[in-house]
Structure 1
Amino acid sequence: ERCRCKKTKPTLSTYLAKNYSYIIHAKVKSIERGSCNEITTVVEVKDILKSSTPIPLSQVPLLTNSSCQCPPLQPKQDLLIMCYEWRSR
């Protein structure tokens, strides 16, 4: 069963309303699905627009916990990634 992705335009009002922890411009290098719906996406960081902690301008792994990867990512794809910090509870 395929999941459905809700499209969101990366506008200034979206940015202000969501108050993201990180905003980076990156290129997808690889995508791996692990156990328990964990997805590891390795990206090459090209530019850091906002960050609560230092991010190197190099290849970094992004970990997501999702049974539905939205939108589907492809290697070599350029992205603007807006996300929240994943905190341990």
Structure 2
Amino acid sequence: MKYKAKVFVTLRPSVLDPAGTAVQSALTQMSYNVESVRIGKYVEMVLDATDESEASDRLHQACDQLLANPVIENYRFELVEAL
């Protein structure tokens, strides 16, 4: 079966985010009064797996080994059957 995954990678709350700080500053200068900004990554992929459990296991491996740095980033994903 084919599964579509939406992966969201974000910095851990304890990690400083200079890119987010720069964006927040720019938005404030443009009169968009935002309290805080955090920058992350979004990845979409379609993968083949025998069932949802296997697809989930493979996604965890991909995130741990390539898509996210587990020392400074968290990740979550949404997994649905692709049509």
TM-score, reference length from structure 1: 0.25
Bigger-Rg structure (1/2): 2
Structure ranking higher in strand proportion: 1
**TM-score, structure 2 as length reference:** 0.26
